[in-house]
Amino acid sequence: MNPAKVISSGTLTGGSVGSPHASATFSGTTFPLSTFFSTGQAIVSQTNDIAPGAVTFIIATSGTPSGYATNTASAPATSGLACIADQVSGVLPSNYEMATYTVTDAVHIRIAFKKAHAALSTIAIGGLCGYGLEQTVDTANGIRQVFPVVGSYSANGLYYAGTTSAVVGQSNTTSAYLNVNLSIANLTRFGNLVTLTTTSNLPLDLNGLPVTISGVGDSSYNGIFSVTSIAANSLTYNQSGANSTSTGGTIVVVTGGFALYPMAEVLSVYNASTKAVDGAMTLAPNNAAWATGDSVEEPHFFQQQLAADISYITQTTPRPTTLTRAGVTYQGNNGPGLQGWTINNTTPASNYIGNGGTHNAPDAAYEATGVWKRTMVLQGGETSLFDVNCNSHGCTKWNSPFNLFELQSSVGTDTMQWAPQSSTFTMSVRGTGFSFAPSGFTATNINATNLNATNISGLAASSITAGTFAAARLPLFGASGASHAIGAVPDPGATAGTTRYLREDGSWSVPAGTSGGGGGSSSVAAITSGTIDGATIGATTPSTGAFTTLTSTTPIAPASGGTGSSVAPAAGQLLIGNSGGTAFAPQTLSGDCTMAPSGAITCLKVNGTNLGAAATHGASISINGTACALDGSCNAFSFATLPQQSAVLADYQLNDGSGTAPADSSPNGNTGSFPSAPAAPTWTSQGLACNGTAGGGGSTGQYFTTAGTQNAKTIMMVYTLSAPGGNNGPANPTFYTLWANSSIAGLSFNSGSQNYGYQPYLSVNGGQQSTMDGSFVGTHVMIVVLGVAGGNPTQDTYYVDGIQQPTVAGSATTFGKSNGVYNVCGAPTGYDTYMTGNVYRWTAWSTQLSAQDAAAATGLTKTLAQSKGVNFQPFYTPTITPQLVCTGDSLTNGNGVTPFCTSGVLSTNIGYNIVNYGIGNIGSNVNMSLLPSREKLAYAPNAKSNVSFIWNGTNDVVTKGRTAQQTVDAILQECSIMHTFGFKTIAATVISRATGGTSNDTADKDAVNPILRAQALNSCDALADFAGNPLVGADGAYSNATYYQGDTTHLTATGQSSVIAPMASHAIDQVTGSTLLNCDPNVVTTATYTSVAADGCKVFNTASNAITDTLPSAIGYTNRVIRRCNNSSSGSNTLTIAAPSDSPFNNTTGTTTLTVPNNSCKDFKGALTSNTSAGEFWQQLN
């Protein structure tokens, strides 16, 4: 414990439980390197002694882990101290020991062993062999857990013996280790409280933890602060300072303290000389530099497991039919204060993540398994059956909701969740949601025999597709007048009639001269005098009398319903009544108004004065309940209600319906204009449809040009971006343009294509200025406030549907950098840029709208757009179809050939909707930044499976200049981010490539893949080891023209479909198949079985047959562990596991079958033959 001999400088950055041993990685260290060998044979005990003793053995010359030597010439000395440990093999101990060695020849070493070892056990010489590793965050009350170090494989990495306690550098384990590093989107300080938003969701709840904030644009935000979480991607902390905003920087939490101690194994505490235990100790060989006065400490043994007693009760013969039970019976006087049974985790909540701690919560307080008729029998309590309290976060936080039940179904897991902050109970059953809340019950469909309800709202007749209503339950319509109401018609009566009419008063009427009956009366008008067509009415027929003969010009008095005029109005005239209402006469419209052929009247003047002039400006009327200024144009979109209306430069409400000059609803008369066809957009009932076609470096964009907008500081657009799904290909634009100066090379508002997540950004002369964090596909109200430079500068601000959006790049002031009137929904030809969708309104202000004004403008505009039938919804609609999202570079998109990640090329157990986000020459860190605005949108929460396949990294090293570790860190971060979205994740290794005829394998594939193989399963659900296949993974494989294109980097169609696609399919099936912790419940009893990728754990029963199970090829399965079990309790039939045809077990010639005894299991792990030559085999672990 001499501090001078302890190594503690640097930071523990991560860990892994992979092969050949558990590993830990560091930064800021310069460890000396160890030399590693593998035993070529098992080291067994002596006949009468568990210790093997001095053994001369052969070292393994093939099948060794990456970085291991195969000739003793690599040893730093011909004799010395070695550390020996078995490779990771399930729960079996590592049998770690230190012993002296002697090299005897090129392939033989002699060691005096005290413990037995399996074949391929590790021998480490030099480096950190002989040290013990403490992870200080797990040191409790001065008690250290120290792991023996096997050896150091790099200046910042080591192997250690951890067996089932290998938790160093790993989160989400029993360890308290954390390593969180996320980018910050924006920060706001108001009233000495900082609100911070990250660019993606936090992988865990950092509430109550001290975090380091650095690199913020405004450095006053930097420092170490204890934070409070308020959302999945938002935190707050207290900090004194002026109210302000900023962007950029990172938030980091790393519990990376460690210590490496010189270590020795105590063989005995018995002093043979004194025959007593008196402090003398016998030590195994070690290299500790002991000195007088050094303190010695016995640490906590690195692997211990403590558990409460379990009673095993066995009865072979049938149990009696009388009741048997175990438990606690309370007798006598039982009352308040008695609690029958308690399971209490007394560890303070502050120890756990989300409450200020760094530990994960334990698994379950109570578990009942096995076959029972009823798992629990209860008698109702006097007050309640269950008393369920809020979780450790309380009842009001964003993460207070919890599942009351998680119910297994044939397609996944159904849940019943309680949200105490809103008193809402939500059920998700096979992807269909139901909720009970104070506001009511919400469900997609309600099937009921009887429904008793006071009110049923939102029910449309079109929604009733079956069944009938009892007529007696329907109210009759109310007669015209004050009592009018919608309703059913009255019963016409039982007597059939020929013709009846329903009167406004609710009665049935029979016309004169017809037989009616059935509840009505007829009314006959009697004419007793006058003439009809010159004949006198009266006498016999007609009767004699005087009557006025009616002709086409006979006037009828207004009192009798006429006009009192015999003159008909000419075209364009109106009948106007006099002030007394006694007569009407035709009048011609003045020049103030015009009348269309349809009869519609438009008045643009009052007494010869234009509406909107000083005499009438500001007067308003109400149309459909909306205030409308008398400024020359009144329609459903009211200019008068916009905030800062006096600063409106132009307001194109796009209700014209026809023509080539969109009207400006502002008083400025800035009428827009269409270009010539085919660039002119198309009118719809709601606005304009803008669609173009791409064309190899140019495009035919559709757009319209505004007027008077060159000095706009705020622009609002209501639109639908109906971008296509799937890959971005030649039929789609390179990027989308919502509006731009007269030339796209000026100031423009664009969005990258689907592969770039539809992230909107402002650009000047093609240079990106600021970028919004998020996607804008679908139908939205988008408001962009341009930043203005000067003495009090402001920055570009984005609002989507009234909510201010964070930015991920740039703090720009783009106003004035390029002037000119704007084109809307596209731009002139010259770029593959246009908009595919619809525009419903476009408005420009000469001022900057505030957040409040932006929200007000959005609310009004959205409501009025909906009145035109515009439906606001995201581009991605809910689905239950399983989703597969492939993220990567040009290898993923195929580079001109059909890629592996394509429907019909992959062959998986589950059918997926496939989205391929392969982008040429992209780095993994850039892909990582796009995940929240791209991949997240593809997640289907109600689907059976969501899988993220990540294959990038080769560009990081070859073209981006990043290190192998930086590359792997970004890939693992991609997995972590996709996990937060709900995806199962798969990472793939880098394959062989060359650039310009020069191999990149040593710097690229051979550097990245060993780290990725060792660390992938810390963050990802599976590893697809493409480089394990020699056809693409061996050094120099790029030269094979069958599988590689002429550029020696990209794969041919054969390489994609025949080499990559099968391994990718297997990895996808792996993450949806059985695992060691969730074995397949279907037991195999047939004589032969061929395992598939989904068979992570398979059970066989040989009671009826001897069974042979043939394993699949291990190619692509590096570090995957599978299990085969024989659950037969007796019998002579055997379970035989056969190796695949391409490689024997343990890479040992002739070892092609293994037998699994009754009531036992065997585990196998995919092992790499060589990092440089590839090839894989199944290694037997037990």
pLDDT means over runs of 10, the chain (1182 residues): 81 90 94 95 91 94 92 94 90 89 94 94 95 90 88 95 88 88 92 91 90 93 92 91 92 92 91 89 88 80 70 74 79 85 86 86 87 89 88 86 88 86 86 82 80 70 66 75 80 73 77 50 49 55 48 65 72 68 70 60 54 37 40 41 89 94 93 89 92 52 89 92 50 69 68 65 72 75 89 86 76 79 76 76 94 90 87 64 91 92 92 87 84 77 88 91 91 91 94 91 91 92 95 94 95 96 95 89 93 94 92 94 89 91 89 90 92 91 86
Which residue do the tokens 């000095």 mark?
A: 711
* Sign of CA pseudo-dihedral 1048, 1053, 1058, 1061: positive
Bridge partners of residue 1029, in order along the sequence: none
Residues 858 and 772 in one domain: yes
Residue 1068 DSSP label: H
Distance of alpha carbon 870 from alpha carbon 851, whole angstroms: 24
Question: For the chain, what is the domain count?
Answer: 5
Q: Is residue 455 part of a domain?
A: no
Bridge partners of residue 1126, in order along the sequence: 1100, 1160
Q: Is residue 532 part of a domain?
A: no
Nearest to residue 888, comparing CAs of 819, 827, 974? 974
Q: To 5 degrees, how large is the angle CA 976–CA 980–CA 981?
A: 120
502-526 exposure pattern, b = at least 16 Cβ within 10 A, e = fewer: eeeeeebbbeeeeebeebbeeeeee
Residues 911 and 1054 in one domain: yes
**Helix %, strand %, coil % of the chain (to 5):** 10, 30, 55
Q: Is residue 897 part of a domain?
A: yes
Q: Name the domain boundary from 109, 142, 165.
A: 165
Identify the CATH number of the domain in which residue 776 sits: 2.60.120.200
Identify the CATH number of the domain in which residue 995 sits: 3.40.50.1110
Q: Is residue 375 part of a domain?
A: no
> Which pLDDT belongs to residue 530?
61
Residues 840 and 955 in one domain: no
Residues 20 and 92 in one domain: yes
**Contact criterion met (CB below 8 Å) for 236 and 196:** yes
Q: Is residue 323 part of a domain?
A: no
Please give the full DSSP string across 747-783, using - where no structure is assigned.
EEEEEE-GGGTT-EEEEETTEEEEEESS---EEEEEE
Residues 837 and 895 in one domain: no
Structure tokens at 257: 């303290």
Distance of alpha carbon 521 from alpha carbon 543, whole angstroms: 27
E strands of 410-546, at which residues? 412-419, 424-429, 432-437, 440-443, 501-502, 508-509, 520-521, 531-532, 535-536
Distance of alpha carbon 432 from alpha carbon 413, whole angstroms: 12
Residues 891 and 756 in one domain: no
Domain residue limits at 694: 689-867
**Contact criterion met (CB below 8 Å) for 111 and 100:** yes
Please state, in angstroms and as integers, the Cα–Cα distance from residue 846 to each residue in 284, 621, 668, 789, 790, following that order. Answer: 83, 26, 13, 15, 17
> Which pLDDT belongs to residue 724?
52
Residues 927 and 1067 in one domain: yes
Q: Name the domain boundary from 142, 165, 188.
A: 165
* Sign of CA pseudo-dihedral 976, 978, 983, 986: negative
> Which pLDDT belongs to residue 1095?
95
Establish how many alpha carbons lie within 13 A of residue 1086's alpha carbon, considering only the half-sphere containing its beta carbon: 7
Nearest to residue 569, comparing CAs of 590, 584, 550? 584
If one counts every other C-beta atom within 10 angstroms of the C-beta of residue 199, the result is 22
Distance of alpha carbon 135 from alpha carbon 147, whole angstroms: 9
Q: Is residue 219 part of a domain?
A: yes
Residues 797 and 904 in one domain: no
Helices 1005-1019 and 964-981 cross at an angle (nearest 10°) of: 30
Q: Is residue 424 part of a domain?
A: no
> Which pLDDT belongs to residue 443?
82
Taking only Cα atoms into account, the Rg of the chain, rounded to an integer number of angstroms, comes to 41
Please give the full DSSP string across 492-511, using - where no structure is assigned.
--SS--S--EE-TTS-EE--
Please state, in angstroms and as integers, the Cα–Cα distance from residue 308 to each residue in 267, 305, 589, following that order. Answer: 30, 10, 100
Distance of alpha carbon 782 from alpha carbon 774, whole angstroms: 12
Residues 901 and 1022 in one domain: yes
Residues 244 and 204 in one domain: yes
Q: Is residue 204 part of a domain?
A: yes
Identify the CATH number of the domain in which residue 215 sits: 2.40.30
Residues 194 and 129 in one domain: no
Q: Name the domain boundary from 1014, 1038, 1071.
A: 1071
Residues 779 and 920 in one domain: no
Is residue 925 helix, strand or coil? helix
Query: Cis (ω within 30 of 0) for the bond into 20?
Result: yes
Identify the CATH number of the domain in which residue 1137 sits: 2.60.120
**CA diameter of the chain:** 160
Distance of alpha carbon 1072 from alpha carbon 868, whole angstroms: 46
